[in-house]
Structure 1
Amino acid sequence: MSDQSDIEGESMRRPLIFELNLVLLPTAAVIALASMGADPALIWPLALLPYTTRSLYHLIRLALLIRRQHRLVPPFPRGLWGDVYRSIARYQQRGRKSRKRQIRFTRRFREAANAVPDALVILDKQLRIDWANPAAAKLMNIHWPDDDGRLFTDLLSNPGLDDFIETSEYMRPLDIAPEHNRAIMLSLRITPFGERKKQRLVVGRDITKIYHLNMIRRDFVANASHELRTPLTVIAGFLENLLDAPITPINHRRPLTLMHNQTERMRSIIDDLLTLSRLEMDESPEEQQTADVPDELHLIMQEAQALSGGRHPMEIHVDDDLLLLGNQPELRSAFSNLIFNAIKHTPHGTRIGIRWCCDEDGAWFSVEDDGPGIAPEHLPRLTERFYRVDRARSRESGGTGLGLAIVKHVLNRHEARLTISSEPERGAIFSCRFPARRIVWRDEEKLSVNGC
């Protein structure tokens, strides 16, 4: 380490010694001539003229080389000007290496983006096209660079696309059938990026096969459920008659009761499947009206008290003036599912809290309990159909495994989202967040007072 420092110190001393020699030699000559009677004021400019001329020459030469963007290559001048030339040459070399790395990275990025089967489009802050990969030509009818600078919505027009971009709510994808090719179904995701998140990356994925498979699944579930409902109704009717008939032997009553209970459970599953199929057919509610959520919650709480039988202490905090724009039966189904689940799937003595209120972000409904909680590995799958954390306990409580799936679909249709937070032995919180634009106040005067 010391040897390296000595070498660097020596390399710095040499130019300084050379420059000092260039100045000291004329100075010695001036002193000698002055001792012989010459006027120093006349001798000094002449003595320093070679040094000044040399410095001016290297300065002008360096300025011209930099302006013409020439590379500085050896041989370099001696002295301090040589250090200046060498330092600039090193910076130029670093810049060239950096540019080469950037070019290689850009080339690899372009090659990777061009190989992606999904459509990728970069938009500027005016929603004009900055770049697009080849897949965008097939999926979105966007050809780059021919369409460079054109509005994205002019090339990919769809009734719901403008609202999707303007609302900037990109948490869920938008599924559209592009006008240039109605045979495909696209799933669009938009991600803001860049300075102040003004630019946008649009990703379009071909989900035609998945979409058709989902359609087949929905049709099959709906048709099968309709076909099963009639024979189950007949079976349930005969079982009820046999249970009520006085001639039925006593030893037959228990199996008949079990058969009747299982029949009712199957009917409940079929009803939930039909509800899910209906919700999936359309992403928005058919009737947009003012839903009296507080009134529905009070009715649900009466049913919840009866279901609990006083075994669960309940706390309810409801803003009676806070209404919601949406479909009231669907909202009742979602809220009742969350409340009844808290009662069915928690042990006796569990405290349950229900809250309906709003803040600056919108309205929110939550069901909180201090029960045994849910393990983290189960949380991402709770809204899947027929998924159960504890299958045995769910069957004993009469659950169908479809309640949270119904809740999720209802909230999607109301531009809301469901969040679930829980830890083992620390209870669980199920929250529904609705956007502020869906809030309706019972008393219009409160709208100007409340900040929601």
Structure 2
Amino acid sequence: MVRRALGQAVLFDVALLLAPVPVGLLAIELGLDPAWVWPWVCLPPLLRHPWLLIRLVLLIRRQHRLAPPFPLGLWGEVYRGLARYQQRGRKSRKRQIRFSRRFREAANAVPDALVILDKQHRIEWANPAATKLMNVRWPEDDRRPLTDILTQPEILPFIEAGEYMRPLDIAPEHNRAIMLSLRITPFGERKKQRLVVGRDITKIYHLNMIRRDFVANASHELRTPLTVIAGFLETLLDATGTPDHHRRPLTLMRNQTDRMCSIIEDLLTLSRLEMRERPEEQESVDIPDEIHLILQEAQTLSNGRHSVESQVDEDLLLLGSAPELRSAFSNLVFNAVKHTPDGTHIRVVWRRSADEAEFSVIDDGPGIPPEHLPRLTERFYRVDRARSRESGGTGLGLAIVKHVLNRHDGRLRMASELGRGSRFVCGFPAKRALIRDERDEILGDEIQTPLSRTSAEG
């Protein structure tokens, strides 16, 4: 059909170009001067093309809609083709307008605050919920920096850091009664724009505060009576006059008391970790020294039932809190000892890679079923409850590890295969890794340099 229409248009233009020939010959036969006949006969077909071209240019410049009737010939096909493109463009614009309207209606109905920032962190758009939650009014605040409205000092570093895996919780200055959880997602061309999502977590925040306070207070209140009970049980077991048939129940009571004390200590540790997002004091932690102490305790705990080896970078240190890191690493190592059968080979690795420092605990034990891996860091979650109680586990060790790593910008990676063992890796960003300068250590003055710079020099 298209070829037929195009062929007809070509034939029309050819006939139009050849039409002056018989007309001119006829005029000459009638005795007219050829010098006057041929220009007047050939001029109309030749002027038709520039006239139709100028008309088309004027219609396009004035953004007129091309509508029938169209010229005959090839110019008609040009007009008709442009008209089809115009129609497609109108339909596409209508779809875009409908989509934009639906997007705005949906965004306006979202109860969370939505704010779009440009690459200079200025406000481009915001939904109505942003007015209530973030004090951002649009379009009044159009092109205004977000940091002029949310003036908390941690906002600008959070936006510029580009590490948006964890949200930022703030109490906005315009309404201190609410708690906001801010999340940022890069989008747009080259990921230069930012979508800021503010969610009201006031109820969840208060519930977490109540839970933390309850756990901390209950643990403190329980620790004193348990200490007294444990002391009397120890005295009774050590007394020479205690009958033999009383020693077994007293031993069981002491073991359960020790287990309760361990649970309370772990709960208190978790409460302390949850009170603040970052460690109060950060220093250069001698991780190799801490690992050697942990391995000595693990050997004592194992009592020769496990084979423990280590691969430690003696010059690799870490910026953070020594007690917290010691607690996290010891939990992973002691878990490998407690929850694997006798004869298991345990390997502890502390090394640096291209972009992070890694602490790994690898064993060749029975492994963990894959369905349990996502829940291992939950409080009191146990793969084998009976075995965990026999080994003295509290079910809080990996929860402590997770909180410590979050406070040190780290990540916990877990992998396991049934019958082939498990692997737990603590990854820390390169900015926290430090290198011990051995030459200055000889002089008694340890100088640390960032891992990233040392790796580049190497």
Q: Establish whether TM, by shorter chain, passes 0.5.
A: yes
Once the two structures are superposed, the pairs formed by residues 36-435 of structure 1 within 5 Å of their partners are 45-435=39-429
**What amino acid does structure 2 have at the position aligned with 1:342?**
A
Q: Quick one: distance in 2 between partners of 1:52 and 1:266?
A: 104
- The answer to whether the aligner puts 1:451 opposite 2:451 as a matched pair is no
> What's the secondary structure of 1:451's corresponding residue?
helix
Q: Unmatched 5+ residue regions in structure 1?
A: 1-6
Query: 1:72–1:88: 8 Å Cα contact kept in structure 2?
Result: yes
> What's the secondary structure of 1:109's corresponding residue?
helix
TM-score by length of 2: 0.92
Q: Quick one: distance in 1 between partners of 2:397 and 2:34?
A: 104
Query: 1:360–1:451: 8 Å Cα contact kept in structure 2?
Result: no
> What's the secondary structure of 2:257's corresponding residue?
helix
> What's the secondary structure of 1:422's corresponding residue?
strand
Going from structure 1 to structure 2, the CA distance change for 1:40 and 1:111 (only over 3 Å counts) comes to same
> What's the secondary structure of 1:450's corresponding residue?
helix
**What amino acid does structure 2 have at the position aligned with 1:345?**
H
Query: 1:41 deviation in Å?
Result: 8.6
C-alpha deviations, 1:26-66, integer Å up to 9, x for none? 24445677899999898665443211211122111111111
* Structure-1 residue corresponding to 2:14: 20
Query: 1:125–1:198: 8 Å Cα contact kept in structure 2?
Result: yes
**What amino acid does structure 1 have at the position aligned with 2:456?**
G
Query: 1:263 deviation in Å?
Result: 0.8
Q: Quick one: distance in 2 between partners of 1:34 and 1:401?
A: 113
C-alpha deviations, 1:232-273, integer Å up to 9, x for none? 112112211222222222222111111110111001000000
Going from structure 1 to structure 2, the CA distance change for 1:386 and 1:20 (only over 3 Å counts) comes to same
Q: Quick one: distance in 2 between partners of 1:364 and 1:43?
A: 96
C-alpha deviations, 1:80-126, integer Å up to 9, x for none? 11111111111101000100100011011101111111001000000
Query: 1:343 deviation in Å?
Result: 1.7
TM-score by length of 1: 0.93
**What amino acid does structure 2 have at the position aligned with 1:237?**
G
**What amino acid does structure 2 have at the position aligned with 1:247?**
G
Fraction of identical pairs, as percent: 71
Going from structure 1 to structure 2, the CA distance change for 1:340 and 1:35 (only over 3 Å counts) comes to farther
Query: 1:317–1:356: 8 Å Cα contact kept in structure 2?
Result: yes
**What amino acid does structure 2 have at the position aligned with 1:271?**
E
**What amino acid does structure 2 have at the position aligned with 1:451?**
A
C-alpha deviations, 1:420-448, integer Å up to 9, x for none? 22333343221112222222222048766
> What's the secondary structure of 1:346's corresponding residue?
coil
Deviates more, 1:216-225 or 1:322-331: 322-331
**What amino acid does structure 2 have at the position aligned with 1:162?**
L
* Structure-2 residue corresponding to 1:3: none
Query: 1:79 deviation in Å?
Result: 1.3
Query: 2:348–2:362: 8 Å Cα contact kept in structure 1?
Result: yes
C-alpha RMSD over aligned residues: 2.2
Q: Quick one: distance in 2 between partners of 1:423 and 1:26?
A: 90
Deviates more, 1:342-351 or 1:99-108: 342-351
Query: 1:359–1:451: 8 Å Cα contact kept in structure 2?
Result: no
Q: Quick one: distance in 1 between partners of 2:311 and 2:449?
A: 19
Query: 1:173–1:187: 8 Å Cα contact kept in structure 2?
Result: yes
Deviates more, 1:211-220 or 1:382-391: 382-391
Query: 2:434–2:449: 8 Å Cα contact kept in structure 1?
Result: no
Query: 1:122–1:132: 8 Å Cα contact kept in structure 2?
Result: yes
Going from structure 1 to structure 2, the CA distance change for 1:446 and 1:108 (only over 3 Å counts) comes to closer
Deviates more, 1:26-35 or 1:373-382: 26-35
* Structure-1 residue corresponding to 2:2: 8
- The answer to whether the aligner puts 1:440 opposite 2:445 as a matched pair is no
C-alpha deviations, 1:358-404, integer Å up to 9, x for none? 23323221112232322332222111110112212211211100001
Going from structure 1 to structure 2, the CA distance change for 1:294 and 1:16 (only over 3 Å counts) comes to same
**What amino acid does structure 2 have at the position aligned with 1:361?**
D
Going from structure 1 to structure 2, the CA distance change for 1:52 and 1:350 (only over 3 Å counts) comes to farther
**What amino acid does structure 2 have at the position aligned with 1:199?**
Q
Query: 2:434–2:448: 8 Å Cα contact kept in structure 1?
Result: no
Q: Quick one: distance in 1 between partners of 2:11 and 2:367?
A: 80
Aligned residues: 446
Query: 2:114–2:126: 8 Å Cα contact kept in structure 1?
Result: yes
